[in-house]
Structure 1
Amino acid sequence: MKVKSLCWAVLWLLAACDKAPAPAESFAGLGSDAADFAQVVPGEVFSFPEDHGPHAGYRIEWWYVTANLKDAQGNQFGVQWTLFRNALKAGPTQPGWHDSTLWLGHAAVTSATRHYAAERFARGGVGQAGAQAAPFNAWIDDWNFASRPGVTGALNDMQLKAHGAQFAYDLRLTSQRPLVLQGDNGYSRKSDQGQASYYYSQPFFSAEGSVSIDGKTYQVSGPAWLDREWSSQPLSASQSGWDWFSLHLDRGAQLMLFRVRQTDGAPYLTGTWIDREGRTQTLHNGDIQLTPLHTTAIDGRQIPTRWSLKIPSKQLDITTEALNPNAWMNLSIPYWEGPVRFDGGVGYLEMTGY
């Protein structure tokens, strides 16, 4: 949502450059005031391909991709790719070194026995990192997520590339299904106090290509998921972190849901049920039963890596388990991110604030 997506947590490092200290009670400072930036309000009409590109008036946004992959022998892998944009101040973007935008990239590969992650940092305005709407391209250094040659507006034929010291991947992602607007036509609430993001997804990607781990290359394929979000204040001051799921069900449906944990009460819980045709139904707190069942000790933290998930109205009763419980993103801002599996499908889980 990575909520990667995160994936708000990792943006704290960039936001720290804003010289505005994060309040102790809000996770990563993302509950701090952002009055000078554009605000997320209901009723926004999305426009494509323009909204595939950056939104300069907003403080934060990200392009986030995950994939659940297998090779011919049945070995399972997970891949993550995320590009974050953070505006240090409100107002028009300035050229060159006067640009006040910072960029951060995260990439990871997970297998049942290995988990490798890497990050990149860049200053805006000098070409090292950025995003454009058409033809679509999002990049930081030589990591990129881009439309393949000849594709202009739609995100239906993409190439995804990244590498680190002990991993690499090069994947083609294709889909002829429609994009999915999360929440209320793309207006995604994150609290009962009104915090929200604009949020859309492409949960119907099919991926194929190569994944390399420790010098060995595997030919892989499987489902992939794109999340796009932008906001200026996505959390309330009392929210301490989140647990975010994107699930591919064998029956053809897709499911996104997240739980934002509160320091002063019950978590904020919501989601989207997406049928095989791309039609959506918003799920509310009363529709979802989400319970952590088992934790894994990682870096002095107890991380819930096995969950019970029930949605009675959809006849869904599953237990998700991490492919690799030690999928800890030990980066500048650490968090847990990795593939999960369950009887009837696969998916991804991201957990922050533990």
Structure 2
Amino acid sequence: MSLRRYLRPCLLIGVLLTLYGCGEENQTETNSTGFAGLGQDADGFEHAQPSQTLIFPQDHSAHPDYRIEWWYLTANLEDADGEPLGLQWTLFRQALMPPSERPEPTPWAADQLWMAHMAISQGEQHQVAERFGRSHTQAEPSQLNDAQAGVIASPFHAWLDDWQLKTNEEANGTDFDHLTLTAYSGEDESRFGYTLELTAEGPLVLHGEEGFSQKAANGQGSMYYSQPFWQINGEVTINGETKAVSGHGWLDREWSSQLLDARQSGWDWFSIHLDDGHKLMAFQLRGGGDDGSAGVEHNADYRSGTWITPQGHATPLATDDITLTPLVTSAVAGRNVPTQWRLEIPSVAIDIIVDAPHANRWMTTSVPYWEGEVVVNDRASGEPLGEGYLEMTGY
């Protein structure tokens, strides 16, 4: 390993630890910046606002004047034997300083930090990889092609080194509805990863107020949209074996400068594919559900979600529309993590049990969290209704 190759990840890990905090004590310590520092002040950055209008394909690209951003894919797949398999691929961007403080571009200067996560899960197997990169904001988008990491809107291309999600070469070069995902880690028998083709069979879905997703009662939030209608085909390598897979996926796009209220300790996020074609996104942020008024419970959780028809029509769900109740807690990586939930949304006649068949889906990354496949059953009858993904942070 060259000195340059060794120093780069060490320096980036140091930056991450400074930005987010890490280690066991950080999991229980209460501070004034919320989970992973996402509630800290963001003076000098752009802020997500309800009045903003999303524009495509431009908004598929990066927004470097905002502090944080991600491109987040989860997928529920099956192999040729019908055995379920889950996977995740995520590219994160973190601005290291407000736009007015950016240094002049040089080989040593960087104002954007990038992190990518990849995971494959099947049965008791759960393999995780992580990469880091850096870049400086370019005056001309064409200059991004030489960067270690970045995102280009058209033709769409998101990458960190050779991990990449990009427009399928057969899709006329500009189509966001037909993408190819490639990511591998390890060598020889320890190598794992995937090459997948993603085809959108429904429209993009804007969450919240036309894409502005409020995250706390005091009003801050993010710009947030999803593509929940991916059909996926390809191959996955795990435990030295390459197998054909197919199924469906969910891609989240989100950017903000102050995602959380400083009192919020973490979140529980659900993406669900129901067998009748409906989709459901629901989350709760633990804490920050009040506006700070006197006499109001200051530990209230803030909840939100979106009910999506098979045709892609989205209905926003407010805090009082959603009830989330943890039913079973599992010991995972030295923590107690809820792995079975009751989710109630009376306005759309939803009363379901969301269960993680395998508890060992802890992401052993620099900012650790739980992410894994779930199955959905009707609470009253036990009838299987669907499947999806669950992400939990701050435990």
Scaled to the shorter chain, the TM-score interval is over 0.9
Q: Distance in 2 between matches of 1:30 and 1:12?
A: 17
> Aligned runs of 1:285-304 on 2, under 5 Å?
285-304=319-338
User: Within the alignment, does 1:56 sit opposite 2:81 as a pair?
Assistant: no
> Aligned runs of 1:1-354 on 2, under 5 Å?
14=15, 16=17, 24-25=31-32, 26-91=34-99, 94-97=104-107, 98-125=109-136, 127-149=147-169, 150-165=171-186, 166=190, 167-262=192-287, 264-342=298-376, 343-354=384-395
Q: Is the 8 A contact 2:165 2:180 kept in 1?
A: yes
Quickly say closer, same or farther: Cα 1:345–1:12, change in 2 above 3 A: farther
Q: Identity over the aligned pairs, expressed in percent?
A: 48
Q: What secondary structure, in the 3-state scheme, does the structure 1 residue paired with 2:59 have?
A: helix
**Any gaps of 5 or more consecutive residues in structure 1?**
1-10
Quickly say closer, same or farther: Cα 1:41–1:244, change in 2 above 3 A: same
Q: Distance in 2 between matches of 1:46 and 1:73?
A: 41
Q: Is the 8 A contact 1:202 1:226 kept in 2?
A: yes
- Give, as a single letter, the amino acid of the residue that structure 2 aligns with 1:116: Q
Deviates more, 1:197-206 or 1:65-74: 65-74
Quickly say closer, same or farther: Cα 1:261–1:145, change in 2 above 3 A: same
Counterpart in the other structure of 1:6? none
Q: Distance in 2 between matches of 1:188 and 1:231?
A: 10
Q: What secondary structure, in the 3-state scheme, does the structure 2 residue paired with 1:86 have?
A: strand
Q: Is the 8 A contact 2:36 2:367 kept in 1?
A: no
Q: Is the 8 A contact 1:290 1:309 kept in 2?
A: yes
Higher-RCO chain (CA-CA 8 Å, sequence separation at least 6): 1
Number of equivalenced pairs: 344
- Give, as a single letter, the amino acid of the residue that structure 1 aligns with 2:84: Q
Q: Is the 8 A contact 2:268 2:393 kept in 1?
A: yes
Q: Is the 8 A contact 1:188 1:197 kept in 2?
A: yes
Q: Distance in 2 between matches of 1:287 and 1:76?
A: 31
Cα displacement (A) at 1:96: 4.2
- Give, as a single letter, the amino acid of the residue that structure 1 aligns with 2:394: G
The superposition leaves residues 175-208 of structure 1 with CA deviations (integer Å, 9 ceiling, x where unpaired) of 1421111111000000001120000100000001
Q: What secondary structure, in the 3-state scheme, does the structure 1 residue paired with 2:56 have?
A: coil
Q: Is the 8 A contact 1:17 1:88 kept in 2?
A: no
- Give, as a single letter, the amino acid of the residue that structure 2 aligns with 1:74: G
Cα displacement (A) at 1:323: 3.3
Counterpart in the other structure of 1:5? none
Cα displacement (A) at 1:20: 11
The superposition leaves residues 213-241 of structure 1 with CA deviations (integer Å, 9 ceiling, x where unpaired) of 11012211111011000100001110000
Q: CA RMSD in A?
A: 2.2
**Any gaps of 5 or more consecutive residues in structure 2?**
1-11, 137-145, 289-297, 377-383
- Relative to the length of structure 1, the TM-score reads 0.92
Please tell me whether Structure 1 or Structure 2 has the larger radius of gyration of its CA atoms: 2
- Give, as a single letter, the amino acid of the residue that structure 2 aligns with 1:219: A
Quickly say closer, same or farther: Cα 1:137–1:274, change in 2 above 3 A: same
Quickly say closer, same or farther: Cα 1:249–1:211, change in 2 above 3 A: same
Quickly say closer, same or farther: Cα 1:13–1:253, change in 2 above 3 A: farther
Quickly say closer, same or farther: Cα 1:283–1:15, change in 2 above 3 A: same
Q: What secondary structure, in the 3-state scheme, does the structure 2 residue paired with 1:286 have?
A: helix
The superposition leaves residues 250-278 of structure 1 with CA deviations (integer Å, 9 ceiling, x where unpaired) of 11011001000017311101100010111
